[in-house]
Amino acid sequence: MNNAENLMQNKQLSEQAAGQPAQPLQQLLTRPDIWQLANRQRQPRTGISTGYRGLDALLASHGWPRGASTELLVDKAGIGEINLILPALAEMTRQNRMVILINPPHIPYAPALAQAGVQLEKLLLLHPRGQRDQLWAAEQALQSGACGALVSWQGKEVLADKDLRRLQLAAREGDCLHFHFRPGSSASSPSPAALRLQLHSDGEQLALQLLKQLNGKSGQRLHLARNPDLTRRDQPLH
């Protein structure tokens, strides 16, 4: 492209921009589908310990990130993935904060949860029907400020990127831990979640791969012992 063509193209772009209605910056920043990464980086938060020293050492916040979405990618439910987040859920209930499970694929095994320290009176199960109701319930709970942790499972319908961003923003607004289980095939898709871990069953252990974390390194792998009481032992709900 020569100089004359460049000038002509720049002139056309300027004319197009002039024809667009002006949008104040502050108005743009209030849109729920815009994530202000710069502000997020200026406000570091201390995480909630995972209960696993090796995993805490890999995470930039030395635990599960507060006020953020954490994606746990699992190909098959019931491999002990709940065991991974139980210490944090128990800690939330000990702090007298509510823990909400939305559409879990299995009936939670109450005796094992209690043995792990979860105060069952602070545990709430929700079964909204349809993706729209599920998204609404999750967003309301996350931003309420009354919920210490929310665990959700991706259903048959995949949430759009803008919906994942809404949940991320709601978790931040309510300073809530958000664990979102998704199929392992989602690993190849970009996500606004602050932390992404892929989980596999490896014999008596749970294999983890750190796919993404804000302000930290990724790519590390880790093996954790599984609790047999918390692997698959109930019939699926769906």
pLDDT tens, 8-30?
555 554 555 555 555 566 566 55
Lowest mean pLDDT among 14-23, 63-72, 185-194, 205-214: 14-23
pLDDT beyond 90 at 1: no
Lowest mean pLDDT among 19-28, 61-70, 84-93, 133-142: 19-28
Task: Assign 235 a pLDDT band (cuts: 50, 70, 90).
Answer: very low
pLDDT of residue 32: 47
pLDDT of residue 233: 47
Q: Could you identify the residue written with the tokens 């949430």?
A: 159
pLDDT of residue 33: 52
Burial of 77 (0-12, 13-18, 19+ CB in 10 A): middle
Lookup: tokens for 109: 């095994």
Lowest mean pLDDT among 91-105, 199-213, 220-234: 220-234
Chain-wide mean pLDDT for the chain?
83
What mean pLDDT comes out for the span 24-49? 59
Q: How many CA atoms lie within 13 A of 6 on its CB side?
A: 3
DSSP 64: B
What mean pLDDT comes out for the span 145-151? 95
pLDDT of residue 11: 59
Q: How many CA atoms lie within 13 A of 137 on its CB side?
A: 19
Burial of 79 (0-12, 13-18, 19+ CB in 10 A): buried
Task: Assign 48 a pLDDT band (cuts: 50, 70, 90).
Answer: very high
Task: Assign 238 a pLDDT band (cuts: 50, 70, 90).
Answer: very low
- The pLDDT tens digits of the residues spanning 74-118 come to 988 888 899 899 999 999 999 999 999 999 988 888 998 999 999
pLDDT of residue 19: 54
pLDDT beyond 60 at 208: yes
